[in-house]
C-alpha cells in the first residue's frame, strides 16, 4: 500500500519561513502539474465515453434498420421471409447488444467520467481558491508590517501604535488561518489524487467486464481478483485520508486556540537569551536606492557558522551576506525607526543596518552576532562557552568582597609588571588589608567610553597660528616643541573608558577600573573603540587623533600618580591622574583622581616601562650627575634622545591604514 512521504507541517505555518515557502512551492508545482494532467485525462475519457455513446446510437439505428427491411415491400421480395425473420432475430440481438452498450455508456458516465470531473471541480478548484486567499492574506500581512515598521520612535502615538498592532495581529491571524487551510488541502491532495487516478480506470474496467460478462465468464473471473485488490486499495487510501483529515482538523484547532499575543509583533513579556550562537528570523535591511534615498526590504536572515545568510522568499537556498568573525555590532539610530542595529566588518569597509520587529529580537540578534564574532562556534561546546561568558559578564558587575579572592583565582597573581606600581613621591606601596571595591571606586560611578574633543578646543588648535602635535617627534619651522625633550615614544592604543576613583596610591584601583569598564562594555553591547596615538615624553602624556593630529587630551607627567598593566591580559594598561576639586570652596582644592583604561597593540608593560623611565628622567633633571649617569646607561638616538623600544609597524609611523581607525575591544 503506497504511503505519502511528504507533507507540509502545520506548525511551520505561522513562522512562514523561506524553507516552508520553498517546500510549499514544490506542492504548488505538483498541484499545477496534476491539474494539467487531469484535464488531459478527462478529455481522453470523455472521448471514450463519446465513442461508447455513439456505439449505442449506431446499434440502435442498426436494429431499427433491420426491422425496416420488412416494411420496404420490395417488388421482388417474395421468398424473403427467412431473410426477414433472420433480420428480425438479428435486430433482436442487435437490440440486446444496444441495451448492453447503453448500460456500458451509462456506467462509464457514472464511474469513469463523473469522479474525475468531481475531483477537478471540487478538489483542484478548492486548491486554486485557497491559493488566492492565501496570497491575498499574505499581501495584507506584508502591508500591515510595512505600516508597523514605519511607526516612529520619537513621536510615538499610542493610539496609532495600538491600531497598527491590532491590524498586524489581525492580518497575521488571517494569514495563519489561510495557510493552515491551504496546507491541509495540499496535504489531502496527495491522497485524493491517487484515488482520483484509480477510480476512473476502476469504473471503466468494471463496466467493460459487466458488458462482456455473459460471453467471457472466464475472463471476468480472472479480472475479479485484480479489481477486488484495486477496490480494496482504494478503500484503504480513503481510510488513511479520513484519519489524516481528522488529525489535521485536531492540530488546526489546537494551533488556532493560542492567545492573541502570539500574533503581536512586539510583546515585552518574554525575556531574551544572551547565549545564542545561532539565530534566524525576518529583519528589515536598509538599502541605498540613490545618492540620498534609501529603501527598507523585509528579508529572512539566519546565521550559519560564522556567516550571516539571507534567503529571499521563493529561493531554494540562502546566500552569504557578511562574514561575522571579528565583526562589530552596535545599536544605532536610523531614520526614526525602532530596534535598529549595525554590523560592521573587521576592516570597517563593509557595514549594514538592520531592523528587528521587537525588542526581544533586537537584543538577541545583537548578542548572537557578538557571540559569533568571538568565534565561540568553533569551540567543542559553544553553548557552554556562551553561557560561561554571559555569566562572567554578569558577575563582572557584582562587587567582589576583596582583591585577595580575585588574586587567588588568578593563574599568575604575582606576575611582575615593570612600572606597574608607582606611587607619587614613594618607591613602594605599604602592604596591609586588601581594600574593598567600594573603597576604591564609588558605587554607581559613571563611565565615559570615548574622549570627545570640544568644538572650541578643536577650533583653537586649527585656527591660524595654531599648532598641531606631531606624534613622531619631527620638527619644522612652526614647531614650538620643547627642544630639551629627551624622550618621545608613540604607542597605538584604543581608549576603553575612564571613571572617577577615590584614591591614587594603590594599583588595585586600576585593576578595579579595568574590570568595571570592560564589564560595562559587555553588558551594554559596546564593542567599538576608536584608535589613537598615546605619546609619552619626558614631561607629559598626550592622546592624539591619528587623522587630524589634534591632541584629544594631555596630562603633565607629575599628574600621573599610578600606572599598571593588567595581570592577565598584557595588552591592557591604565593610569590614574590626580587633579583638584574646588567645588567645596577650598582655595587649595580637594585632590580628585580619575582612572583611564587603554588597550594597545603592544604589551602594556612597555608603555608602563616608558612612563616609569619618563618619571626617572624628570627626577634626574634635578641632578645633572644623575641625568648624566642615566644617559650613559641608556642607548640614545642620533639626535640625543633615549632609544627605548622597537618602533611600531610601518602603518602607524607613516599614517597608512588610517581608513581602519576603529577596532574591537
Give the pLDDT confidence score for residue 60 in this predicted structure. Answer: 85
Question: Which pLDDT band, with edges at 50, 70 and 90, does 438 fall under?
Answer: low
Give the pLDDT confidence score for residue 639 in this predicted structure. Answer: 53
Name the fold adopted by 11-219. Answer: Substrate Binding Domain Of Dnak; Chain:A; Domain 2 (1.20.1270)
Lay out the sheet containing 294-304: strands in order across. Answer: 319-323, 307-311, 294-304, 280-288, 351-355, 340-344, 328-331
Pick the closest to residue 56 from 94, 110, 113, 112 (CA basis).
94
- Per the structure block, which three cell numbers stand in for 639? 639626535
Shared fold status for 11-219 and 438-455+484-582+589-633: no
In this structure, the strands spanning 340-344 and 328-331 are antiparallel
Lowest mean pLDDT among 55-59, 338-342, 370-374, 440-444: 440-444
Q: Which strand (E) or helix (H) includes residue 87?
A: helix 81-108
* Angle value at C-alpha 531, between 375 and 343, nearest 5 degrees: 40
Say how many CA atoms lie within 13 Å of 151 toward its Cβ: 25
Helix, strand, coil in percent for the chain, rounding step 5: 50, 15, 35
0.75 cut: is pTM over it?
no
What is the tens place of the pLDDT at every residue in 166-178?
A: 998 999 899 899 9
Q: How far is CA 314 from the centre of its chain?
A: 18
Rounded distance between C-alpha atoms, residue 194 and residue 512, angstroms: 74
For the residues of 292-333, what is the DSSP string, one character each? S-EEEEEEEEEEETTEEEEE-TT-SS-EEEEE-TT-EEEE--
Question: Which pLDDT band, with edges at 50, 70 and 90, does 585 fall under?
Answer: low
Give the pLDDT confidence score for residue 652 in this predicted structure. Answer: 38
Rounded distance between C-alpha atoms, residue 614 and residue 622, angstroms: 13
Above 90 in pLDDT, residue 596?
yes
Rounded distance between C-alpha atoms, residue 528 and residue 464, angstroms: 34
Name the fold adopted by 280-381. Answer: PH-domain like (2.30.29)
What lies within 8 Å, CB to CB, of 655 at 6+ separation is 546
How far from 633 is each of 626, 627, 630, 643, CA to CA, in Å?
A: 11, 10, 5, 11
Give the pLDDT confidence score for residue 538 in this predicted structure. Answer: 81
Give the pLDDT confidence score for residue 206 in this predicted structure. Answer: 87
Pick the closest to residue 300 from 15, 17, 13 (CA basis).
17
Q: What is the DSSP letter of 325?
A: T
Pick the closest to residue 142 from 267, 32, 284, 249 (CA basis).
284
Above 90 in pLDDT, residue 595?
yes
Rounded distance between C-alpha atoms, residue 84 and residue 93, angstroms: 14
What is the tens place of the pLDDT at every residue in 11-55?
A: 888 888 888 888 888 998 988 999 999 999 999 999 999 998 898
Rounded distance between C-alpha atoms, residue 476 and residue 469, angstroms: 11
Above 90 in pLDDT, residue 308?
yes
202-211, 279-288, 478-487, 621-630: which is most confident: 279-288
What is the tens place of the pLDDT at every residue in 536-580?
A: 888 889 998 888 888 888 888 888 999 999 888 888 899 999 887
Give the pLDDT confidence score for residue 214 in this predicted structure. Answer: 60
Above 90 in pLDDT, residue 305?
no
Question: Which pLDDT band, with edges at 50, 70 and 90, does 646 fall under?
Answer: very low
Above 80 in pLDDT, residue 160?
yes
Above 50 in pLDDT, residue 463?
no
Above 50 in pLDDT, residue 458?
no
Rounded distance between C-alpha atoms, residue 369 and residue 308, angstroms: 9
Give the pLDDT confidence score for residue 94 in this predicted structure. Answer: 76
Above 50 in pLDDT, residue 464?
no
**3-state secondary structure at position 288:** strand
Above 50 in pLDDT, residue 251?
yes
First to last CA, the chain: 64
Pick the closest to residue 478 from 499, 455, 461 (CA basis).
461
* Residue 476 vs residue 190, higher pLDDT: 190
Rounded distance between C-alpha atoms, residue 251 and residue 117, angstroms: 31
Q: Which strand (E) or helix (H) includes residue 295?
A: strand 294-304
Question: The cell 484509480 sits on which residue?
Answer: 198
How far from 212 is each of 94, 200, 216, 219, 406, CA to CA, in Å?
A: 15, 18, 6, 9, 99
Handedness of CA 240, 241, 244, 246 (dihedral sign): negative
Give mean pLDDT, residues 580-593. Answer: 74
Rounded distance between C-alpha atoms, residue 488 and residue 644, angstroms: 9
- Per the structure block, which three cell numbers stand in for 175? 494569514
Give the pLDDT confidence score for residue 454 in this predicted structure. Answer: 44
**What angle in degrees, to the nearest 10, is found between the helix axes of 125-149 and 18-71?**
160
Pick the closest to residue 186 from 232, 268, 136, 130 (CA basis).
130
Other beta carbons within 10 Å of 56: 19
Give mean pLDDT, residues 383-409. Answer: 54
Give the pLDDT confidence score for residue 171 in this predicted structure. Answer: 92
Other beta carbons within 10 Å of 616: 17
Q: Which architecture, in CATH terms, is 438-455+484-582+589-633?
A: Roll (2.30)
Lowest mean pLDDT among 112-121, 380-389, 424-433: 424-433
- Note the residue count of the chain: 665
Rounded distance between C-alpha atoms, residue 396 and residue 283, angstroms: 32
Give residue 662's region: left, alpha or beta (phi > 0; psi -120 to 50). Answer: beta
Above 90 in pLDDT, residue 354?
yes
Pick the closest to residue 10 from 19, 1, 20 (CA basis).
20
Lowest mean pLDDT among 379-388, 445-454, 636-645: 636-645
- Per the structure block, which three cell numbers stand in for 582? 574646588
Give the pLDDT confidence score for residue 653 in this predicted structure. Answer: 39
**What angle in degrees, to the nearest 10, is found between the helix axes of 158-212 and 81-108?**
160
Rounded distance between C-alpha atoms, residue 198 and residue 508, angstroms: 85
- CB-based burial, 514-548: b 16+ in 10 Å, e otherwise: bbbbbbbbbeebbbbbbbbbbbbbbbbbbbbbbee
Pick the closest to residue 439 from 501, 392, 396 (CA basis).
501
Give the pLDDT confidence score for residue 630 in this predicted structure. Answer: 64
On whether the CB atoms of residues 27 and 186 are closer than 8 A, the answer is yes
What is the tens place of the pLDDT at every residue in 182-221?
A: 999 998 888 888 888 898 999 888 888 888 776 565 445 5
Rg of the chain taking only CA atoms, in angstroms: 44
Give the pLDDT confidence score for residue 634 in this predicted structure. Answer: 62
Handedness of CA 125, 128, 131, 137 (dihedral sign): negative
Give the pLDDT confidence score for residue 246 in this predicted structure. Answer: 92
On whether the CB atoms of residues 488 and 542 are closer than 8 A, the answer is no
Judge residue 253's burial from the number of C-beta atoms within 10 Å of its C-beta, 0-12 exposed, 13-18 middle, 19 or more buried: exposed
* Residue 126 vs residue 395, higher pLDDT: 126
Q: Where are the domains of the chain?
A: 11-219, 280-381, 438-455+484-582+589-633
**3-state secondary structure at position 592:** strand
* Residue 300 vs residue 620, higher pLDDT: 300
Handedness of CA 7, 9, 13, 16 (dihedral sign): negative
Lowest mean pLDDT among 6-10, 249-253, 584-588: 584-588
Handedness of CA 199, 200, 201, 203 (dihedral sign): positive
* Residue 608 vs residue 665, higher pLDDT: 608
Pick the closest to residue 211 from 114, 106, 110 (CA basis).
106
Computed over every residue of the chain, the mean pLDDT equals 77
Rounded distance between C-alpha atoms, residue 418 and residue 398, angstroms: 30
Give the pLDDT confidence score for residue 395 in this predicted structure. Answer: 53
* Residue 261 vs residue 396, higher pLDDT: 261
What is the tens place of the pLDDT at every residue in 66-122?
A: 888 888 777 776 666 767 777 777 787 777 777 878 888 888 899 899 999 989 888
In 213-286, which residue ranges form alpha helices assigned H by DSSP?
217-255
Give the pLDDT confidence score for residue 413 in this predicted structure. Answer: 37
Lowest mean pLDDT among 299-313, 318-332, 497-511, 616-630: 616-630
Above 60 in pLDDT, residue 460?
no
Amino acid at each position: 500500500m503506497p504511503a505519502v512521504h511528504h507533507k507540509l507541517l502545520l506548525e511551520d505555518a505561522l513562522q512562514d519561513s523561506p524553507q516552508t515557502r520553498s517546500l510549499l512551492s514544490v506542492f504548488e508545482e505538483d498541484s499545477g502539474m496534476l491539474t494539467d494532467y487531469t484535464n488531459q485525462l478527462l478529455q481522453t475519457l470523455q472521448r471514450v465515453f463519446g465513442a461508447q455513446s455513439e456505439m449505442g446510437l449506431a446499434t440502435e439505428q442498426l436494429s431499427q434498420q433491420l426491422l425496416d427491411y420488412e416494411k420496404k415491400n420490395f417488388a421482388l421480395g417474395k421468398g424473403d421471409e427467412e431473410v426477414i425473420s433472420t433480420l428480425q432475430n438479428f435486430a433482436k440481438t442487435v437490440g440486446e447488444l444496444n441495451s448492453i452498450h447503453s448500460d456500458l455508456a451509462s456506467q462509464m458516465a457514472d464511474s469513469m467520467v463523473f469522479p474525475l470531473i468531481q475531483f477537478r471541480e471540487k478538489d483542484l478548484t478548492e486548491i486554486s481558491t485557497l491559493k488566492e486567499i492565501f496570497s491575498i492574506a499574505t499581501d495584507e500581512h506584508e502591508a500591515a508590517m510595512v505600516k508597523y515598521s514605519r511607526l516612529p520612535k520619537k513621536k510615538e502615538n499610542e493610539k496609532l501604535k495600538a491600531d497598527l498592532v491590532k491590524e498586524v495581529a489581525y492580518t497575521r491571524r488571517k494569514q495563519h488561518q489561510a495557510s493552515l487551510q491551504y496546507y491541509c488541502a495540499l496535504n489531502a491532495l496527495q491522497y485524493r489524487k491517487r484515488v482520483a487516478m484509480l477510480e476512473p480506470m476502476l469504473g471503466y474496467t468494471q463496466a467493460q467486464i459487466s458488458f462482456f460478462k455473459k460471453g467471457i465468464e472466464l475472463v471476468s473471473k480472472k479480472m475479479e481478483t485484480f479489481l477486488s485488490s484495486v477496490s480494496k486499495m482504494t478503500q484503504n487510501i480513503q481510510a488513511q485520508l479520513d484519519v489524516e483529515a481528522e488529525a489535521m482538523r485536531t492540530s488546526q484547532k489546537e494551533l488556532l486556540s493560542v492567545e492573541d499575543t502570539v500574533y503581536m509583533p512586539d510583546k515585552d513579556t518574554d525575556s531574551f537569551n544572551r547565549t545564542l550562537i545561532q539565530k534566524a528570523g525576518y529583519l528589515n535591511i536598509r538599502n541605498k536606492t540613490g545618492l540620498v534615498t534609501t529603501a527598507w526590504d523585509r528579508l529572512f536572515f539566519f546565521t550559519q557558522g560564522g556567516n550571516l545568510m539571507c534567503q529571499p522568499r521563493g529561493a531554494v537556498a540562502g546566500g552569504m551576506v557578511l562574514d561575522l568573525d571579528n565583526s562589530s555590532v552596535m545599536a544605532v539610530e536610523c531614520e526614526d525607526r525602532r530596534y535598529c542595529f549595525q554590523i560592521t566588518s573587521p576592516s570597517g569597509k563593509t557595514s549594514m543596518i538592520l531592523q528587528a520587529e521587537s525588542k526581544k529580537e533586537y537584543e538577541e540578534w545583537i548578542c548572537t552576532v557578538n557571540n559569533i564574532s568571538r568565534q565561540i562556534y568553533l569551540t567543542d561546546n559553544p553553548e557552554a562557552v556562551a553561557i560561561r561568558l554571559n555569566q562572567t559578564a554578569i558577575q563582572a558587575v557584582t562587587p567582589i568582597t576583596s582583591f585577595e579572592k580575585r588574586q587567588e583565582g588568578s593563574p599568575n597573581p604575582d606576575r611582575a609588571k615593570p612600572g606597574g606600581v608607582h606611587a607619587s613621591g614613594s618607591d613602594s606601596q605599604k602592604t596591609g588589608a586588601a581594600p574593598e571595591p567600594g573603597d576604591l571606586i564609588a558605587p554607581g560611578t559613571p563611565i565615559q567610553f570615548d574622549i570627545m574633543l570640544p568644538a572650541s578646543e578643536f577650533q583653537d588648535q586649527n585656527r591660524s597660528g595654531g599648532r598641531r602635535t606631531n606624534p613622531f617627534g619631527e620638527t619644522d619651522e612652526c614647531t614650538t616643541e620643547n627642544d630639551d625633550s629627551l624622550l618621545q615614544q608613540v604607542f597605538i592604543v584604543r581608549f576603553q573608558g575612564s571613571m572617577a576613583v577615590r584614591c591614587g596610591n594603590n594599583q588595585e584601583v586600576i585593576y578595579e577600573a579595568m574590570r568595571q569598564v570592560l564589564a560595562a562594555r559587555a553588558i551594554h553591547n559596546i564593542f567599538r573603540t576608536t584608535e589613537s596615538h598615546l605619546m609619552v615624553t619626558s614631561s607629559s602624556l598626550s592622546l592624539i587623533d591619528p587623522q587630524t593630529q589634534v591632541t584629544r587630551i594631555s596630562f603633565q607627567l607629575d599628574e600621573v600618580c599610578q600606572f599598571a598593566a593588567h595581570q592577565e591580559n598584557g595588552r591592557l594598561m591604565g593610569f590614574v591622574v590626580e587633579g583638584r576639586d574646588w567645588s567645596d570652596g577650598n582655595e587649595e582644592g580637594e585632590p580628585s583622581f580619575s582612572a583611564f583604561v587603554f588597550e594597545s597593540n603592544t604589551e602594556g608593560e612597555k608603555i608602563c616601562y616608558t612612563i616609569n623611565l619618563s618619571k626617572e628622567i624628570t627626577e634626574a633633571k634635578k641632578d645633572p650627575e644623575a641625568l648624566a649617569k642615566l644617559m650613559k646607561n641608556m642607548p640614545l638616538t642620533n639626535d640625543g634622545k633615549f632609544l627605548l623600544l622597537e618602533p611600531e609597524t610601518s602603518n602607524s609611523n607613516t599614517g597608512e591604514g588610517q581608513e581602519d581607525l576603529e577596532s574591537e575591544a
